[in-house]
Structure 1
Amino acid sequence: MKDSDWAILDTLYREPNITKAADLLFMTQPSLTKRLQQIEKEFTTTIAIRNPKGIVLTAQGEYLAIKAGEMLRKFKEIQQQIMEMNDGNKGTLKVGVNNSYGRFRLPSLLNQYKTMYPNINFEIASGLSSDVLKMVNLKEINIGFIRGDHDFHGIKQLISVDPSYIVSKKEIPFEDLPYIPRIEYLVDPLTVKLLDHWWYEHFTVPPLKGLVVNHGDTCREMIANGLGYGIFLVPEFIEGAVGLYKQPMLTKAKKPFTRNTWMIFNNDSCKIPFVRNFIDFVCTQTNSTK
């Protein structure tokens, strides 16, 4: 059995759906299915049975999954103790990051940090902020970078406060927005609620739904082709955009409508020297740019 196999069994116990479990494990569905079949062959038993709603673990599968969880927790405990004994100059830092922060800001931070600590390695997982939050809560990563004021019971460090913009090919009178198609890109549920709250502070009718795309860059290109307007809570998506009209978003009180970016981590992470070093480094860098 590989270490990753124990993680597979533990994940299937917590999420009895091949597709969702594969996403959590950052695997493809065929790869997960194949690996599960190999585990069943190794133990000469059936571990899971498929049904229309997902999978059901057999008695043998449930027993193996519970033991897998126990072994993983024990291994993490041992790993934690060893890391706390190190001097902070070596290690593998597991970081989860919101897609846009991972694209635009994290690379520069990592590059600067590697010049100071060349023996530190990084494992990066990206996704929506809600995905990163879940990974931190499950202690699958040491540190997370998220956008938006999500509920979190660990430690939060404010990284930046970013303005938001209404973007269109040409100027649109604010009162006309409900009658122009809005082009949307994929954001987490908290951001959807935030935008809905802002909208209904200003308008009594819902927005006119236009295209829905996967990425901010695609949204920007659709706007550039005159297919509607977009709301951007990530300024980097529109930096350098030529020929587009940017209208700052304001609250009902006429203050800038902003969104916070946070670095989040659990108390246990602070005890690991190389994680603590990185936390201190990020705090220093972000404070110097405010």
Structure 2
Amino acid sequence: MDERDWLILKVLYEKKNITKTALQLYISQPALTKRIQHIEKEFKLVIIERGKRGVQFTPQGEYLATCADEVLSRFQNIRETVINMSEEVAGTLRLAVSNYITLHKLPKLLMLFREKFPQVDFKVTTGWSREVFNLVYNHDVHIGIVRGNYQWSDAKLRLFEENLCITSREEIKLSDLPSTPRIDYGTDPALKTIIDNWWSRTFSRPGIVGMEVDKGETAKEMVMNGLGYGILPSVLVDQNTDLFKITLMDEKQEPIVRETWMFYHEKSMEMKLISEFVRFVQGLDFIHDL
């Protein structure tokens, strides 16, 4: 079996469907069926059975499928080790990055790094910071960039910090918030917890949600059009000098700060690609250079 065969087993085990597996792997269904038959012939056993509920794995087939992650990871490690033996910085950098950074910072960061090291490719996974944290923690990616404070015991680099701001088009008093429509938005659970904790410390009754939108950038646009106020990260609204802002304060009347971190495993610094990327980011002012 080659690497492609193990990937077929992994995806087929997840999808339990020939058509969906073929679509994800960009191969035809006949070609996929032929590869499965080749695997069965090699092991001299049946690994899948087709029924009304889709593909069902035999016990032997299920065992092979559960080994796929380990085997694919081994292939990846071998490939990276061989590339690392070269003097040239090359290979595929696997990144997991929070949604905001992906949209506003990552494209230029990768462009600048590619200009310096043109033999480097990127595989980027995006999501909420908790998802990113889990990916780098489980060694599914080389680098994770998260927003918020997470308990991380390995290597890390602080990229920047931001305040949280009550933001509105017109001036607003803090005491008016419980009776004023708020623009709520989808965000990382950690940020939502910070905002909820601040609210419960400050007010004895819940606020009024006048509108719910998908993300912070959309909420800012609604605020700019006078449809309500939002509690937004300062990095989203600092450039909008025409907006009215109140910084959220903690119990000690100090600004509530949200930090953005780059997490990675110290062991991975043995790879030239990772060490060069970390050094490259260390040399940047992440707010102003990108």
Secondary structure of the residue that 2:284 maps to in structure 1?
Answer: helix
CA shift, 1:251, in A, is 1.7
Distance in 1 between residues matched to 2:12 and 2:174, nearest whole Å: 49
What does residue 173 of structure 1 align with? 173
* Alignment partners' CA distance in 2, 1:133 and 1:48: 37
In structure 2, C-alpha distance between the alignment counterparts of 1:195 and 1:138, rounded to whole Å: 28
- 1:287, distance to aligned residue in structure 2 (A): 8.3
Q: Which residue of 1 aligns with 2:36?
A: 43
TM alignment of 1:1-290, pairs within 5 A: 3=3, 6-7=6-7, 9-10=9-10, 31-32=23-24, 39=32, 42-44=35-37, 46=48, 57-233=57-233, 235=235, 237-241=236-240, 243-286=242-285
Three-state SS of the structure 1 residue aligned to 2:135 is: helix
Q: Which secondary structure does the structure 2 equivalent of 1:285 belong to?
A: coil
Which amino acid is 2:247 matched to? Answer: P
Post-superposition offset of 1:270: 0.9
- Supply the distance in 2 between the matched residues of 1:120 and 1:225 (Cα, whole angstroms): 43
Q: CA deviation at 1:99?
A: 1.1
> Percent identity between the aligned chains?
31
Distance of aligned partners of 1:239 and 1:146 in 2 relative to their CA distance in 1, 3 Å threshold: same
| Secondary structure in structure 1 of the residue aligned to 2:170 | coil
Partner Cα separation in structure 1 for residue 98 and residue 60 of structure 2: 38
Contact 1:223 1:230 survives alignment (8 Å): yes
Structure number with greater Rg is 2
- Work out whether residues 12 and 21 of structure 2, in 8 Å CA contact, stay in contact via their aligned partners in 1: no
Deviation (angstroms), 1:232: 1.0
Q: In structure 2, do the counterparts of structure 1 residues 274 and 32 end up closer, same or farther at CA, with 3 Å as the change threshold? A: closer
Deviations 1:22-67 (A, max 9, x none): xxxxxx899349979664563255368787xx99754244123123
CA RMSD of aligned residues (A): 3.4
**In the aligned structure 2, how far is the partner of 1:238 from the partner of 1:288?**
13
**Cα separation, partners in 2 of 1:32 and 1:107, compared to 1, 3 Å:** closer
TM-score by length of 2: 0.80
Q: Distance in 1 between matches of 2:253 and 2:52?
A: 55
Aligned twin of 1:25? none
1:60-90 superposed Cα distances (whole Å, 9 cap, x missing partner): 4412312312321321331242243232522
Aligned length in residues: 277
Query: Would you say the 8 A contact 1:94–1:143 is kept in 2?
Result: yes
For residues 259 and 281 of structure 1, the distance between their equivalents in structure 2, rounded to whole angstroms, comes to 23
Given the two structures, how large is their TM-score scaled by the length of structure 1?
0.80
Deviations 1:244-283 (A, max 9, x none): 3222222222211110000011233211012101101111
Q: Structure 1 residue 98: deviation in Å?
A: 0.9
Q: Is the 8 A contact 2:198 2:250 kept in 1?
A: yes
- Do the aligned partners of residues 196 and 55 (structure 1) sit closer, same or farther apart at CA in structure 2, a change above 3 Å counting? farther
| Equivalent position SS for 2:48 | coil
SS at match of 1:275: helix
Structure 1 residues 106, 57: closer, same or farther in 2, change over 3 A? same
Task: Quote how far apart the aligned CAs of 1:230 are.
Answer: 0.8
Distance 1:199 1:59, change over 3 A: same
Quick check: 1:150–1:190 contact (8 Å CA) kept in 2? no
- Aligned AA (2:35): E
Letter of the 1:212 partner, please give it: E
Aligned 8 A contact 1:97 1:127 in 2: yes
